[in-house]
A and B are shown apart, each in its own frame.
Chain A
């Protein structure tokens, strides 16, 4: 629902909103598109001129209208296509066909105008020039790029020869799974990303699948592959105590733990060194890579308590009742405890809700810079503090109305 409009007005104005020079309007990147406005404007002019001519003597001065059936079929198809597109995702990457079709539709409409050929050609060239300007200004190339593949290998990382030669079970836990590295390891190795995996104790089918996967790991061959966390390295480029503790906390939900106090090794990656904004110093580049760590399964009793929060369930429930679209009931599987409260994540809506021990309740949409205060716990439970479900900061409104 990232790009779906929040109300009918926004839905109707989507062809206009697509012209805005903002990111996250109908696709993640900034992709202003004037062509839908061109089509609507040409259609309006054409309709007005046809109406005026009907009052006069000639209905179709250029004679082109009679042969325009395919154009109007295509135009109608494009207009209708907006309905299922907006109803399902409204993601521009899934409207590629429409984005290609609109070009012939615009020029086809320009050709129907009852004006001279020179003017029709000028209008078509004008549309191309204006749209080319919008494309050039939005710089779409490298818009998606995080890492650059220039020469082979496609993503360099120093994989130890022994792990190329023998199979093992690997788990990853970063939001990006870095599964592009998997073909560099032994082909019989087993891979699982913990990031979206439900914990085995969650009672879900996939939780049981995760447990079954982990239980089949051979002792001594259960590994964690995780990108280095900048600023959290020891002088030997290994995870420091603080990051080790954080990783352990996340592994615990899967009854996993480091096999020893320092069971990791550093794998330099030129691929990772090339990622990130701005130039890196030589020291920063030399610290870019992955940690490859030996893991072990923990006994059910020995596993540290997971950081589930239960204290503010009633507050989250009240919030979810107010805006079920933005805060679907239960979130992504309960709340997590924070040092000063609890947080509940709503991945589908890309939203997080925070309840702090100080008594304050906040939400944060993923694109917003700061959290938004909803009110106090008491007010929320009493119903006097409410979320403006149609005014989510960072999300709601037309692109030119949005606040970050």
Chain B
């Protein structure tokens, strides 16, 4: 395969995947509103723009306390008078951001510059996307794929030093690990349900260096990046929950924060 063409392989795969995925909401002619959309997606998008804890209590049931930022695009398009097809196309485009990291992972698993390798990578990306759960997110307001996008980026970035160990200087590998950490933190911030998978990321960061010192440094840098990403993505929302309910992850683990509330003289 010519080197010039290989350079654009990732972009071409993403473009083709985007076209196919965009076809889903366009062919449906609508954006489907599911239980979650009727119950809390639009409301959460509203609260992302301006929090409503001063006014509402359980406005959308206990889902009112979820990190709301992923729902802002669908809310904004809804209240701005967009058609469902246009909104679905925008959401599908945002969701397509998960294709490039899948291709990066395919390249890590299937290296090579032959036509055969390129074909196998294209099949790998196709097979990655061929999940009813993944595809059901297109043409609907389900935000699980959007929430998983930073995490799949985190995995792809963490795998790069492992895949390109021979030609990657340690300083560059560390940068990949830090970026992977930031993506991990963001993923958890956007949806706490990413947490159980995110706890495995240090294992990948450890593999990014060859000696013990490098591995420990990578794990620390990745964790620091994750903390930064989490604080950036969740800090404001967590602070709001703390201010109103004395628990930054309300209503979960409420009793865990009881000593802190008591120590700070929290009333309520």
Partner of B127, one of A35, A177, A190: A35
Q: Which residues from 70 to 100 on chain B have a C-beta closer than 8 Å to any C-beta of chain A?
A: 75, 78-79, 81-85, 87, 98
Partner of A180, one of B38, B64, B109: B38
Q: Does A163 contact B (CB under 8 A)?
A: no
Partner of B46, one of A97, A182, A205, A210: A182
- For the complex, give the distance between the alpha carbons of A37 and B61 in Å: 39
- For the complex, give the distance between the alpha carbons of A106 and B130 in Å: 12
User: What 0/1 pattern do residues 26 to 69 of B give for CB contact below 8 A with A?
Assistant: 00111111111111111100100000100111111110100000
* A96 with B204: CB separation less than 8 A: no
* A131 with B61: CB separation less than 8 A: no
Q: Does B260 contact A (CB under 8 A)?
A: no
* B111 with A67: CB separation less than 8 A: yes
Q: Does A120 contact B (CB under 8 A)?
A: yes
- For the complex, give the distance between the alpha carbons of A286 and B49 in Å: 35
User: What 0/1 pattern do residues 72 to 92 of A give for CB contact below 8 A with B?
Assistant: 011001001100110111011
Looking at the assembled complex, report how far the CB atom of B35 sits from the nearest CB atom of chain A, in whole angstroms.
6
Looking at the assembled complex, report how far the CB atom of A350 sits from the nearest CB atom of chain B, in whole angstroms.
15
* A142 with B33: CB separation less than 8 A: no
Given contacts A73-B207, A100-B134, A152-B81, contact A192 B58 (CB under 8 A): yes
Q: Which of B172-180, B194-202, B212-220 is found at the contact surface with chain A?
A: B194-202
- For the complex, give the distance between the alpha carbons of A89 and B43 in Å: 25
* B123 with A105: CB separation less than 8 A: no
Q: Cβ of A101: which chain B residues have Cβ within 8 Å of it?
A: 102, 105, 128, 152, 155
Q: Which residues of B line the A interface, CB within 8 A?
A: 24, 28-43, 46, 52, 55-62, 64, 75, 78-79, 81-85, 87, 98, 101-102, 105-106, 108-111, 116-117, 119-121, 123-136, 138-140, 142, 144-145, 147-148, 151-152, 155, 159, 162-163, 193-194, 196-197, 199-200, 203-204, 207, 251, 268
Closest chain B residue, CB of each to CB of A33: B131
Closest chain B residue, CB of each to CB of A155: B33
* B197 with A97: CB separation less than 8 A: yes
Q: Which of A24-32, A302-310, A328-336 is found at the contact surface with chain B?
A: A24-32
Q: Cβ of B34: which chain A residues have Cβ within 8 Å of it?
A: 144-146
Looking at the assembled complex, report how far the CB atom of A197 sits from the nearest CB atom of chain B, in whole angstroms.
5
Q: Cβ of B60: which chain A residues have Cβ within 8 Å of it?
A: 177, 179, 193
Q: Which of A122-130, A244-252, A337-345, A368-376 is found at the contact surface with chain B?
A: A122-130
Q: Cβ of A155: which chain B residues have Cβ within 8 Å of it?
A: 33, 38
* A97 with B78: CB separation less than 8 A: no
Q: Nearest 9 pairs between A and B by C-beta?
A: A103-B128, A145-B32, A108-B109, A144-B34, A96-B148, A149-B84, A103-B127, A31-B132, A179-B43
* A74 with B105: CB separation less than 8 A: yes
Given contacts A35-B127, A80-B203, contact A104 B110 (CB under 8 A): yes
Q: Cβ of A400: which chain B residues have Cβ within 8 Å of it?
A: none
Closest chain A residue, CB of each to CB of B136: A140
Report whether over half of chain A's contact residues are helix, strand or loop; otherwise say mixed: helix
Partner of B162, one of A69, A80, A107, A196: A69
* A149 with B78: CB separation less than 8 A: yes
* A150 with B38: CB separation less than 8 A: no
Looking at the assembled complex, report how far the CB atom of A76 sits from the nearest CB atom of chain B, in whole angstroms.
9
* A149 with B87: CB separation less than 8 A: yes
User: What 0/1 pattern do residues 273 to 285 of A give for CB contact below 8 A with B?
Assistant: 0000000000000
Q: Cβ of B38: which chain A residues have Cβ within 8 Å of it?
A: 146-147, 155, 176-178, 180
- For the complex, give the distance between the alpha carbons of A124 and B121 in Å: 10
* A104 with B40: CB separation less than 8 A: no
Q: Cβ of A150: which chain B residues have Cβ within 8 Å of it?
A: 29-30, 83-85
Q: Which residues from 158 to 198 on chain A have a C-beta closer than 8 Å to any C-beta of chain B?
A: 176-180, 182-183, 188-193, 195-197
**Best-surrounded residue of A104, A120, A127 (most CB of chain B within 10 A):** A104
Report whether over half of chain B's contact residues are helix, strand or loop; otherwise say mixed: helix
Given contacts A128-B126, A151-B83, A196-B62, contact A104 B148 (CB under 8 A): no
* A177 with B40: CB separation less than 8 A: yes
Q: Cβ of B126: which chain A residues have Cβ within 8 Å of it?
A: 103, 128
* B194 with A182: CB separation less than 8 A: no
**Best-surrounded residue of A97, A125, A150 (most CB of chain B within 10 A):** A97
- For the complex, give the distance between the alpha carbons of A125 and B123 in Å: 7
- For the complex, give the distance between the alpha carbons of A110 and B1 in Å: 21
User: What 0/1 pattern do residues 242 to 263 of A give for CB contact below 8 A with B?
Assistant: 0000000000000000000000
Given A152-B81, A179-B64, 5 more A-B residue pairs with CB atoms under 8 Å apart are A29-B136, A100-B101, A101-B155, A102-B128, A191-B55
- For the complex, give the distance between the alpha carbons of A182 and B105 in Å: 42
Looking at the assembled complex, report how far the CB atom of A203 sits from the nearest CB atom of chain B, in whole angstroms.
15
Q: Does A111 contact B (CB under 8 A)?
A: yes
* A93 with B133: CB separation less than 8 A: yes
* A144 with B32: CB separation less than 8 A: yes
* B133 with A99: CB separation less than 8 A: yes
Looking at the assembled complex, report how far the CB atom of B209 sits from the nearest CB atom of chain A, in whole angstroms.
14
Q: Cβ of B147: which chain A residues have Cβ within 8 Å of it?
A: 96
Task: Give 26 A-B contacts (CB < 8 Å), ordered by A residue.
Answer: A87-B196, A93-B142, A94-B194, A100-B129, A100-B134, A100-B152, A101-B102, A107-B110, A108-B106, A108-B124, A121-B116, A124-B123, A128-B126, A131-B127, A131-B130, A140-B136, A146-B32, A146-B33, A146-B34, A147-B37, A154-B33, A179-B39, A180-B38, A191-B59, A192-B56, A192-B57
* A182 with B130: CB separation less than 8 A: no
Q: Cβ of A89: which chain B residues have Cβ within 8 Å of it?
A: 193, 196
Given contacts A70-B159, A148-B84, contact A100 B193 (CB under 8 A): no
* B144 with A94: CB separation less than 8 A: yes
Closest chain A residue, CB of each to CB of B130: A131
Given contacts A144-B142, A149-B30, A149-B87, contact A31 B133 (CB under 8 A): yes
Q: Does A402 contact B (CB under 8 A)?
A: no
Closest chain B residue, CB of each to CB of A99: B131
- For the complex, give the distance between the alpha carbons of A270 and B16 in Å: 37
Partner of B136, one of A69, A95, A141: A141
Q: Cβ of B46: which chain A residues have Cβ within 8 Å of it?
A: 182-183
- For the complex, give the distance between the alpha carbons of A363 and B268 in Å: 37
Q: Cβ of B62: which chain A residues have Cβ within 8 Å of it?
A: 196
